[in-house]
Amino acid sequence: MGTVKIELRGPLARYGTRDKGTGRMEMTADNGVTVLEILNQLHIPCHHVGLIVVNGKKGTMQTALREGDHLIIFPVVAGG
């Protein structure tokens, strides 16, 4: 078990109730927990997620996280 740093960008920050709405938090999680499991714990609908970044590299819903990882979740962006 370890700590993962999480940043929720844009309108996803509202799901960061542990951090008073700043979108930045730390979560304790088992090594190997997936991004999808974190999203489910935070009650973030998958269809709201546009980009996942883990330690500066593109990730997926199936990316396994380890202690000390830095996860950034960006929302879907639309416009022209």
* Confidence class for position 77, pLDDT limits 50, 70, 90: confident
Give pLDDT, residue 23: 86
The full set of domains in the chain, from first to last, is 2-75 (3.10.20.30)
Question: Taking Cα atoms as reference points, which of 27, 12, 48, 1 lies closest to residue 61?
Answer: 48
Element (H, E) at 3: strand 2-8
pTM value?
0.90
Give pLDDT, residue 56: 97
Note the pLDDT tens digit of each residue in 16-58.
766 566 789 999 989 999 999 999 999 999 999 999 999 999 9
